Amino acid sequence: MDKINSGIEGAALLALRWKCEQHSPQGGRHMGNREMRQAILRRLDSAPGDIFTGEQLSDFGDDQAVLNEVSYLEELGLLKADYCLSGTVSWARITSKGRDYVDPSGGIGGELSVVTVKLHEDTLRQIFINRVNASDADSTVKGKLIDQIKSLPAEALSKLAEKALEEGLRYMPHALQWLQTAQWS
């Protein structure tokens, strides 16, 4: 009789384990906090605008772990949630900020956050001319360089600015030090 009971019990445990593995995005394995947060956001993003119950998120971990991660994501504004008095998640819904976070391209929010800096070609010319004038070069060399800068077409000036930026970024540690000590007022 013990063999029959242990066989039935074993089959039941295997069925439960199979069920957990089927419903867990990590195949029933333990997830780290970061993995759990990503999985929760991906689940919520699978049906944006829909509300997911705490029960629908329970396969990511125990109630306390899910509560902690959902609370953290809500503090960051990546989702909205409500909580039961028992200390569990009642429901959660992804926000637009959460959708943008999950989107590898950054979503529309990423596009809206882009800062475009436009420098008029006369401004670029003047920056380069000022730099030449501040150099230790001979005045005849400076004059030739300034004449060349003045005669550059807009596209060549743009390429020159791009190369100057690349060269400047090579000295980034010095630039960071300068940024920390620069007077901005």
CATH assignment of the domain containing 35: 1.10.10
Q: Answer whether 0.75 is exceeded by the pTM.
A: no
Residues 151 and 100 in one domain: no
Q: Is position 1 within any domain?
A: no
Residues 128 and 51 in one domain: no
- CA neighbours within 13 Å on the CB side: how many for 115? 2
Q: What is the pLDDT of residue 185?
A: 59
Q: What are phi and psi of 82, to 5 degrees?
A: -135, 155
Which of 26, 62, 56 lies closest to 43, judged by CA? 56
What is the C-alpha to C-alpha distance for residues 53 and 92, in angstroms, rounded to an integer? 6
Q: Is the pLDDT of residue 84 over 80?
A: yes
User: Domain range holding 161?
Assistant: 121-181
Q: Is the pLDDT of residue 94 over 90?
A: yes
Q: Is position 78 within any domain?
A: yes
Residues 26 and 98 in one domain: yes
What is the C-alpha to C-alpha distance for residues 4 and 10, in angstroms, rounded to an integer? 10
pLDDT, tens only, 118-127: 888 899 999 9
